[in-house]
Amino acid sequence: MTIRLYDTGARQIRDFTPLVPGCVSIYLCGATVQAAPHIGHIRSGLNFDIMRRWFEYRGYDVTFIRNVTDIDDKIIAKSADQGRPWWSIGYENERAFNSGYDVLGCLPPSYEPRATGHITEMIEMMRGLIERGHAYAADGNVYFDVRSFPGYLELSNQDLDDLRQPSGEGETGKRDPRDFAMWKAAKPGEPSWETPWGRGRPGWHLECSAMAHKYLGPAFDIHGGGLDLIFPHHENEIAQAKGYGDEFARYWVHNAWVTMSGEKMSKSLGNSVLVSEMVKHWRPIVLRYYLGTPHYRSMIEYSEEALREAESAFARIEGFVQRVTEKAGKTVAAADEVPPAFAEAMDDDLGVPQALAIVHTAVRQGNSALAADDKETAVARLAEVRAMLGVLGLDPLDPHWAGESDRGADLHGVVDTLVRLVLEQRESARARKDWATADAIRDQLQQTGLVVEDGASGPRWTLGPR
């Protein structure tokens, strides 16, 4: 068994070999809490949740760090616009992110450090970089000298002579316009901390280098994040960490975006879809299926139609789980192991689409077994399906989803009573062989969004895809 991952730095799929046998260390760039999360933000958390689950299934002890950037230019700007403390905005949105991760079934990280809780570590890293000749102080700012680090831009595969480094307001005293700020001098009315070079606040890139070092040490296995972070964020993290003397990450894994009309979903484009709003209209488990089942390196073009297709696909899986559970008369435990073809797909750069095809094949086989009244085979397929869905965080029988309310769940008992009355009329029509009336009743129910299935124990109804 060898797990293989696409390494952005190597620009190829590589066999994964952990630094410490049996252990995996992962650092994921988490939320910048300037606003509530949209589904593009949460996709990254979902993709790496699946990665973590697969490593754990394969027997690894996983340490998973997902940071919170709770101080940056946008948070400060919103603080000024809204007349609220910066920390109030940050904490409110941090809770919104955690709620989004939780409602979509992401396991909590091993540690979730906030940037503002690690100023001491950042100062220590800056001091070391200045001593090593990789950084310098100017006008209360501290900059990284990019020409001092020969490996700069290897991750993003750029030419330094063509580089246009993003700069912020007040970044004065640079020796080279391509140098980037690790520490920003204090401005009146803005949050600041005391350092040997004057009061100020951290730059975004420094935060992650310092926190990764703090929680995972000078070398760790995997650094993750969205494609948009490759430059400048991850490139600058590498320069700082390696300039400080760390080996840093050995594999770089990046997830693709959720797009709308071909553009990356973002708050600035005004095309975001907030998680808090989405879960009012779509079941969270369906939203997880939609965001988590495409390959992590594939773009997802958001559309209502695509969500409806995901809902329909998951309904087929869930319907099978429910039917076998009813047939067995008890909850069928997940199998101890997933099918070999599923494992092979997941080992190959987390091939979730190929793995999901194995799930649907097992569902079809199980449905055929049910139709043939082969309870033993149906139960065996369900055990496999539950094992596979568990790895993907999509097992509808998992306790996490037990309290999930389906559309109209609060009225389920009332609806069930009304539907049963209509089904009794249909059964009466069938008993007198009035097939036209029976079919008309079934079709009318389907038009309302209900699916009627006839079984040995009588008809049953479920909510179909919207």
Q: Write out pLDDT tens, residues 202-234.
A: 998 999 999 999 999 999 999 999 999 999 999
8 Å CB contact between 345 and 49: no
The reported pLDDT for the residue numbered 465 is 53
Walk across the sheet containing 263-264 and list its strands.
263-264, 258-260, 300-301
Cα atoms in the Cβ-side hemisphere of radius 13 Å centred on 199: 8
- Diameter of the chain by CA atoms? 93
N-term to C-term CA, the chain: 41
Q: Can you tell me the distance from the alpha carbon of 339 to that of 381, in angstroms, rounded to the nearest whole number?
A: 10
Q: For residue 67, give the H/E element and its range.
A: strand 61-69
What pTM value is reported for the model? Answer: 0.87
Q: Can you tell me the distance from the alpha carbon of 98 to that of 164, in angstroms, rounded to the nearest whole number?
A: 35
Stretch 258-286: mean pLDDT:
86
Q: How far is CA 166 from CA 126, 179, 181, in A?
A: 20, 9, 10
Q: Can you tell me the distance from the alpha carbon of 323 to that of 370, in angstroms, rounded to the nearest whole number?
A: 8
Phi and psi at residue 280, in whole multiples of 5°? Answer: -80, -25
Q: Is the pLDDT of residue 280 over 60?
A: yes
Burial of 131: CB neighbours in 10 Å, binned 0-12, 13-18, 19+: exposed
The reported pLDDT for the residue numbered 429 is 83
For 41, the token pair is 């933000």
Stretch 243-250: mean pLDDT:
98
Q: Can you tell me the distance from the alpha carbon of 328 to that of 369, in angstroms, rounded to the nearest whole number?
A: 13
The reported pLDDT for the residue numbered 194 is 97
Task: Count CB atoms within 10 A of the CB of residue 270.
Answer: 7
Question: Predicted confidence band at 408 (pLDDT cuts at 50, 70, 90)?
Answer: very low
Stretch 81-110: mean pLDDT:
97
The reported pLDDT for the residue numbered 266 is 78
Task: Count CB atoms within 10 A of the CB of residue 348.
Answer: 15
Q: Can you tell me the distance from the alpha carbon of 451 to that of 310, in angstroms, rounded to the nearest whole number?
A: 17
- Taken as a whole, the chain contains a residue count of 466
Q: Can you tell me the distance from the alpha carbon of 135 to that of 128, in angstroms, rounded to the nearest whole number?
A: 9
Encode 24-51: b = buried (16+ Cβ within 10 Å), e = exposed: bbbbbbbbbbbbbbbbbbbbbbbbbbbb
Q: Can you tell me the distance from the alpha carbon of 262 to that of 139, in angstroms, rounded to the nearest whole number?
A: 42
Nearest by Cα to 104 from 39, 14, 22: 39
The reported pLDDT for the residue numbered 407 is 44
Average pLDDT value for the chain: 92
Q: How far is CA 361 from CA 357, 402, 406, in A?
A: 6, 25, 26
Q: For residue 368, give the H/E element and its range.
A: helix 352-371
